Amino acid sequence: MIPAQFDYVAPTSVADAVAALSEAGEDAKVLAGGQSLIPVLRLRLSYPSVLVDLRRVSELRGVREDGNELVIGAMTRHADVITDPLVRQYAALVAEAAGTVADPAVRHRGTFGGALAHADPAGDLAAVALALDAQLVAEGPGGRRSIAAADFFVDYLQTALSPDEVLVEVRLPKLEGQWGVHYEKFNRTAQAWAIVGVAAAVRQENGSIVDARVGLTNMSSTPVRASAVEAALRGTSADGRSIAAAAEHAAEGTNAPSDLAGASDYREHLARILTRRAVSAAAGV
Amino acid sequence: MTEELDAGMLATEIAEHPDALSAPYGGGELGRGRRRKEDAKLVTGQTNWTDNITLPGLLHMAVLRSPMAHARIVSVDVSAALEMPGVIAAYSGADLAAEDGALPCAWPVTPDMVHPDHKPLAVDEVRHVGDGVAVVIARDRYTAADALEAISVEYDQLPAVVDMEAALAEGSPLVHSDKGTNKCFTWPFAAGDDYEATRAKADVVVTRRFRQQRVLPTAMEPRGVVVAPIAAADEYTVYSATQIPHILRVMLALVTGIGEHKIRVIAPDVGGGFGSKLNVYAEEVLALVVARKLGRPIKWTESRSEGYQATIHGRDQIQDIEVSATKDGKLLGLKVELLADMGAYLQLVTPGVPILGAFMFPSIYKMDSYTFSCTGVFTTKTPTDAYRGAGRPEATYAIERIMDELAAELGMDPLELRRRNWIKHEEFPFDSICGLTYDSGNYEAATAKAEQMFDMTALRREQAERRERKDPIQLGIGISTFTEMCGLAPSRVLGSLSYGAGGWEAAQIRMLPTGKVEVVSGATPHGQGHHTSWSQIVADALGVPFEDVEVITGDTDSSPKGMDTYGSRSLVVGGVAIHKATGKVIEKARRIAAHLLEAAEGDVEFHGGTFSVKGSPEAKLSIQEIALATFAAHNLPDGMEPTLDSDYVYDPENFSFPHGTHLCAVEIDTETGFTKIRKYVCVDDIGKIINPVIVEGQVHGGLAQGIAQALYEEAIYDAEGNLTTGTMVDYLIPSAADLPHFDTGRTETPATSNPLGVKGVGEAGTIASTPAVVNAVVDALRPFGINDIDMPASPERVWRLLHPGGQRREASGTVAYGGVSTSTTSGGAA
């Protein structure tokens, strides 16, 4: 398909990007890796007046440490996230989930921040950010602010970002200690969206689970935290039976969609099965 | 890099099966794994796709399509589009109605077939989502797309007709109200003994209803057309991403009234088709008509989502099949009743597709009685037409599925059941119950080799163990022994089936003065590697270097005669035509050689490209020297025309009948319903092989496509007639990452109906693999009391069968074969 006409700017700094967005008003769109936006434009599902392309804003790329936080620049490509040694050390769940995004071509163009700002509940990274209590840092005309992942994902394809804000970076608390992680994605073809995905991180001490984070992909109009599962896991012994019992709570509080990829009751069933598998894998059981 | 692939350069699987690079036959070229001549330009981006073509003054066409499945067109207003800068013209269907003719259907399968008018642009009614309503012509593609949004169309919505059985019911809304019915035709066929009498003698009768879901052909290259007019002469060059430049030329002339001699059709590099480019499409006609009106070149290229609505769809049948047999597994009779979804209109061969299948339901089996009937049905959906295999995969699926069900009913090993019924190798040539003469075959050999490669015994043991311990991962084993009719087709047979053309193919060999050879072929490739295979045939026959042969295809000026590429016919018909044309070259060259060597013609032998005189080995001339001597024409036999060029138009005497045995093992995750192919073995017998690497590619691609129908692909329409799988987000196509390693093998039983001994391989993988996979899925689920599943066998579908009403179904632990009974069993989850 052929997109409708739009203006295009490619600023080299966040400040210039914010200025461009402020000037353009509500019909502007930020172009990151373009792996979701370009198809939307080609299908004429969106008619932005101007695209603000962040590809030349070098300050938005890269991964660094900041005290006990890991900071991933919003324009860091999935392929770079997957191979980054700091990510692998402190946020292996992010690397694992990013490795399941679409296909190699998409992973070399798509960006970590772009995927989160697009806020597709079927995207793999939002559930991970939610499970890991990420802070998403946005810059607008009034300066920077930090938004908790729990507040960031507002609804289907909607975030707490205002139209003149740019997502700058994502801050993740370093997972240190006896954490095990796993992302369990269920889809029909390798490059398809998740029908359901489960991001799990568990910390064990002396054979017991002392902390657990579980995020669900595509179980609602936003990514969902499986809080009941986390509560049931905390303090239980890390064995198959306990994990299976905890995983039975996986669909609680969700609002799974029914679509061509699966009806909601099937998704609820998958959430329970996949949560059991994700937590078991994370716990090494 | 050498030009010939060796084992080390091939994929591991070929290296593991050295017979894939079997020793060359005869003159040394046939059977060699030559690197494809076509690939250098493909992999370096120097291809000439239709959309790459640009011409001075080129204008771009865009088509406004109906968003509704069925509606009366109240008005079409293009005036706002015409006011946009860069827009040259805009036309409604009514504006072009006097010039754009009607799209052709070349296969009126019955004398009373209902054949509705099919305008390139709808005039009064739209009948499927994507039906063309108006066109815009603009200076660039972006403006054309913008202008579509400025056209205002008022629709008066009419009821959609989506379900075939509902469409045939009394009082159904009509797709074509002037026809008074949604029934297109009923085509009956019966052979052998009376079916009901045969059935009465049976110990066991098994019936099933299978659904061939609708699928969307998805060629790598979308469709596109460019028309370049010479206005003053009323002459037109049509570039089209088509499989059929020759047929298209004839049809465009008939549709538009422009003289056939004034139309040149060029199929440039064409990137796949699978039958979807075996057609005459609205956009080809519209581009021609508009180019004629404006006197300017016109280009149209579909977008992928546009193609999903406006390019033909495949399959879409409901198959009611019944098999009757004795208690010891001897087939007695077969009864098939089809409903075939035509969609809203008849495209080029829409009604003929299920009729081709009619002859393939009996497959490799002997039986006393066969009765068949097919009813074509109009619905408000995109027309269906030929898709890789065209009728034969549907037939093979139904017979191979029900053979497994009969085996289960009898408590018999499904391979043993097949053995008891198939035609034995010593019985060839064999007249099938349908009256086809299967010239050759050896089902025993192919099956034995497949079983050995598959390690059936170990897999059956593992399956039993998994069943015993109620493992959440269950193993299933599926079998497909198939044959197909290829090499379409003997012209007189096509005539007897009311097809509108013949099935011959044309070839020409031109010997150039410098000894190079040009081969003109009417078979037009769209990815198959014709240029390589044809070069091998000619190099082998004439004894000239492979590199010295150039193949010319796809242009009605330079290759004026042809019947084009479909139905696994290119090698079996077009390749044989080339082989026969080389024979004419050799015979004429022999006469010239005898003259120049001053020998009797009968004493001149031809071997390895050289003519020599019996008994005087020093007296010799190469065929390339003869070519130069013929060009000079200084010393030719009296009265001989000074040319070696030869034409041959080959009309096959029979179809060819490739066959094979495919074995598939799947693992089903009973918790999620996910099916993973654990092992896939195929042994195909496609007769003699020209190029084993090309064969390997065809088999792999075919398997992928057949597996895709079994597990992934499905075009879904909602009750309002909207295509809900309208983009590749929702229409799932597997990639290499989703497919297993393919263990391919071959047996070689040459066809006896052509001098090359070839049978064709373009569709074999697609035809055989779908039932092999679904049989494996059902085999895994059978202990749970499940004896059928609709395609695609998606995880959710498997899960729902295993969890009826949300409750997990328990396995009996052993296969609950029904044993021998006289009752009729029907399909579905028990």
- Contact present, A48 and A41 (Cβ < 8 Å): yes
Given this model, what pLDDT does residue B120 score?
98
- Considering the domain architecture, whether residues A256 and A241 belong to the same structural domain is answered as yes
| 3-state secondary structure (DSSP) of residue B182 | coil
Spatial distance between the Cα atoms of B721 and B699, rounded to a whole number of angstroms: 35
Closest CA to A96 of A183, A172, A175, A179: A183
Q: Do A2 and B727 count as a contact with CB atoms less than 8 A apart?
A: no
Q: Do A189 and B727 count as a contact with CB atoms less than 8 A apart?
A: no
Residues of A in contact with B140 (CB under 8 A): none
Residue A264: inside a domain: yes
- Considering the domain architecture, whether residues A103 and A143 belong to the same structural domain is answered as yes
- Contact present, B582 and B509 (Cβ < 8 Å): yes
Residue A156: inside a domain: yes
Given this model, what pLDDT does residue B50 score?
98
Residues of A in contact with B732 (CB under 8 A): 188-189, 192
Q: Do B734 and A273 count as a contact with CB atoms less than 8 A apart?
A: no
Give the gap in angstroms from C-alpha A177 to the nearest C-alpha of chain B.
33
- Considering the domain architecture, whether residues A68 and A168 belong to the same structural domain is answered as yes
B824 vs B385, residue with greater confidence: B385
- Considering the domain architecture, whether residues A64 and A132 belong to the same structural domain is answered as yes
Element (H, E) at B545: none
Give the gap in angstroms from C-alpha A170 to the nearest C-alpha of chain B.
28
Q: Is B141 part of the contact surface with chain A (CB cutoff 8 Å)?
A: yes
Work out the burial of residue B345: count CB atoms within 10 Å of its CB; fewer than 13 is exposed, 13-18 middle, 19 or more buried. Answer: buried
- Contact present, A92 and A181 (Cβ < 8 Å): yes
Tell me what the mean pLDDT of segment B4-28 comes to: 44
Task: Give the CATH number, domain containing residue A101.
Answer: 3.30.465.10
Q: Is A191 part of the contact surface with chain B (CB cutoff 8 Å)?
A: yes
- Smallest Cβ–Cβ distance between A266 and the set B306, B732, B799 belongs to B799
- Considering the domain architecture, whether residues A269 and A191 belong to the same structural domain is answered as yes
Phi, psi (deg, nearest 5) at residue B828: 100, 175
Spatial distance between the Cα atoms of A127 and B214, rounded to a whole number of angstroms: 35
- Contact present, B561 and B250 (Cβ < 8 Å): no
Given this model, what pLDDT does residue B13 score?
40
Give the gap in angstroms from C-alpha A29 to the nearest C-alpha of chain B.
20
Residues of B in contact with A265 (CB under 8 A): 806
Q: Is A68 part of the contact surface with chain B (CB cutoff 8 Å)?
A: no
Residues of A in contact with B149 (CB under 8 A): 44
Q: Do B729 and A193 count as a contact with CB atoms less than 8 A apart?
A: yes
Query: Which residue of chain B has the CA closest to A196?
Result: B672
Residue of A100, A187, A270, A274 for testing the chain B interface, max B β-carbons within 10 Å: A270
Supply B629's token pair. 């001597």
Of A126, A153, A173, the residue at which a domain comes to its end is A173
pLDDT in tens, B113-151: 999 999 999 999 999 999 999 999 999 999 999 999 999
pLDDT in tens, B176-231: 999 999 999 999 999 999 999 999 999 999 999 999 999 999 999 999 999 999 99
Q: What is the dotted CATH code of the domain comprising B314-488+654-825?
A: 3.30.365.10
- Considering the domain architecture, whether residues A183 and A249 belong to the same structural domain is answered as yes
Q: Is A105 part of the contact surface with chain B (CB cutoff 8 Å)?
A: no
Given this model, what pLDDT does residue B781 score?
98
Query: Helix count (H) and strand count (E) of chain B?
Result: 22, 29
pLDDT-derived band at B815 (thresholds 50, 70, 90) equals low
Give the gap in angstroms from C-alpha A149 to the nearest C-alpha of chain B.
27
- Considering the domain architecture, whether residues A16 and A103 belong to the same structural domain is answered as no
pLDDT in tens, A222-269: 999 999 999 999 999 999 999 999 999 999 999 999 999 999 999 999
Query: Which residue of chain B has the CA closest to A102?
Result: B729
pLDDT-derived band at B27 (thresholds 50, 70, 90) equals low
Q: Is A45 part of the contact surface with chain B (CB cutoff 8 Å)?
A: no
Spatial distance between the Cα atoms of B764 and B697, rounded to a whole number of angstroms: 12
| DSSP state for residue B176 in the 8-state scheme | S
Q: Is B303 part of the contact surface with chain A (CB cutoff 8 Å)?
A: yes
Residue A249: inside a domain: yes
Residues of B in contact with A190 (CB under 8 A): 735, 737-738
Q: Is B140 part of the contact surface with chain A (CB cutoff 8 Å)?
A: no
- Smallest Cβ–Cβ distance between B146 and the set A4, A42, A270 belongs to A4
Q: Is A273 part of the contact surface with chain B (CB cutoff 8 Å)?
A: yes
- Smallest Cβ–Cβ distance between A262 and the set B146, B303, B796 belongs to B796
- Considering the domain architecture, whether residues A183 and A166 belong to the same structural domain is answered as no
Q: Is B142 part of the contact surface with chain A (CB cutoff 8 Å)?
A: yes
Q: How many domains does chain A have?
A: 3
Count of positions (residues) in chain A: 285
Residue of B142, B213, B671, B717 for testing the chain A interface, max A β-carbons within 10 Å: B671
Residue A48: inside a domain: yes
Spatial distance between the Cα atoms of A190 and A188, rounded to a whole number of angstroms: 7
Spatial distance between the Cα atoms of A145 and B624, rounded to a whole number of angstroms: 81
Q: Is A262 part of the contact surface with chain B (CB cutoff 8 Å)?
A: yes
User: Which residues 666-705 of B have a C-beta within 8 angstroms of A?
Assistant: 671-672, 674
pLDDT in tens, B690-705: 999 999 999 999 999 9
Residue A2: inside a domain: no
Q: Do A1 and B732 count as a contact with CB atoms less than 8 A apart?
A: no
- Contact present, B353 and B392 (Cβ < 8 Å): no
The domain limits of chain B are: 7-43, 50-158+218-310, 314-488+654-825, 504-650
Q: Is A90 part of the contact surface with chain B (CB cutoff 8 Å)?
A: no
Q: Do B734 and A189 count as a contact with CB atoms less than 8 A apart?
A: yes
Residues of A in contact with B142 (CB under 8 A): 2-3, 5
Work out the burial of residue B532: count CB atoms within 10 Å of its CB; fewer than 13 is exposed, 13-18 middle, 19 or more buried. Answer: buried
Q: What is the dotted CATH code of the domain comprising B504-650?
A: 3.30.365.10
Closest CA to B687 of B568, B770, B602, B791: B568
Q: What is the 3-state secondary structure (H, E, C) of chain A?
A: CCCCCCEEECCCCHHHHHHHHHHHHHHEEEECCCCCHHHHHHCCCCCCCEEEECCCCHHHCCEEEECCEEEEECCCEHHHHHHCHHHHHHCHHHHHHHCCCCCHHHHHHCEHHHHHHHCCCCCHHHHHHHHCCCEEEEEECCEEEEEEHHHHEEECCEECCCCCCEEEEEEEECCCCCEEEEEEEECCCCCCCCCEEEEEEEEEECCEEEEEEEEEECCCCCCEECHHHHHHHCCCECCHHHHHHHHCCCCCCCCCCCECCECHHHHHHHHHHHHHHHHHHHHCC
Sequential pLDDT tens for chain A (285 residues):
789 999 999 999 999 999 999 999 889 999 999 999 999 999 999 999 999 999 999 999 999 999 999 999 999 999 999 999 999 999 999 999 999 999 999 999 999 999 999 999 999 999 999 999 999 999 999 999 999 999 999 999 999 999 999 999 999 999 988 899 999 999 999 999 999 999 999 999 999 999 999 999 999 999 999 999 999 999 999 999 999 999 999 999 999 999 999 999 999 999 999 999 999 999 999
Q: Do B737 and A191 count as a contact with CB atoms less than 8 A apart?
A: yes
Residue A1: inside a domain: no
CA B224 to chain centre: 20
Residue B828 has pLDDT above 90, yes or no: no
- Smallest Cβ–Cβ distance between A273 and the set B144, B145, B671 belongs to B671
In this structure, which amino acid lies at residue B655? F
Task: Give the pairing of strands A28-31 and A143-148.
Answer: unpaired
Q: Is B139 part of the contact surface with chain A (CB cutoff 8 Å)?
A: no
Query: Which residue of chain B has the CA closest to A193?
Result: B729
Closest CA to A188 of B725, B776, B674, B668: B674
- Considering the domain architecture, whether residues A82 and A184 belong to the same structural domain is answered as no
pLDDT in tens, B28-63: 899 999 999 999 999 999 999 999 999 999 999 999
Q: Do B737 and A189 count as a contact with CB atoms less than 8 A apart?
A: yes
Give the gap in angstroms from C-alpha A140 to the nearest C-alpha of chain B.
33
pLDDT in tens, B767-812: 999 999 999 999 999 999 999 999 999 999 999 999 998 888 888 7
Note whether B314-488+654-825 and B504-650 share their fold: yes
Query: Which residue of chain A has the CA closest to B671?
Result: A273
Residue B21 has pLDDT above 60, yes or no: no
Instruction: Please give the share of chain B, as a percent, with pLDDT higher than 90.
Output: 93
CA B424 to chain centre: 28
Given this model, what pLDDT does residue A177 score?
80
Given this model, what pLDDT does residue B28 score?
86
Closest CA to B781 of B754, B753, B803: B803
| DSSP state for residue B187 in the 8-state scheme | E
Residue A192: inside a domain: yes
Q: Is A41 part of the contact surface with chain B (CB cutoff 8 Å)?
A: no
Give the gap in angstroms from C-alpha B395 to the nearest C-alpha of chain A.
27
Q: Do A191 and B671 count as a contact with CB atoms less than 8 A apart?
A: no
Q: Do A1 and B733 count as a contact with CB atoms less than 8 A apart?
A: no
Residue of B301, B672, B724 for testing the chain A interface, max A β-carbons within 10 Å: B672
pLDDT in tens, B541-563: 999 999 999 999 999 999 999 99
Query: Taking phi first (over 0 means left), then psi (-120 to 50 degrees means alpha), and beta for anything else, what does residue B757 get?
Result: left
- Considering the domain architecture, whether residues A136 and A228 belong to the same structural domain is answered as no
B50-158+218-310: CATH, from 3.90.1170.50, 3.90.1560.10, 3.40.630.10, 3.50.40.10: 3.90.1170.50
Residues of A in contact with B803 (CB under 8 A): 269
Domain that holds residue A16: 7-53
Given this model, what pLDDT does residue B230 score?
95
Residue A32: inside a domain: yes
pLDDT in tens, B595-631: 999 999 999 999 999 999 999 989 999 999 999 999 9
Q: Is A280 part of the contact surface with chain B (CB cutoff 8 Å)?
A: no
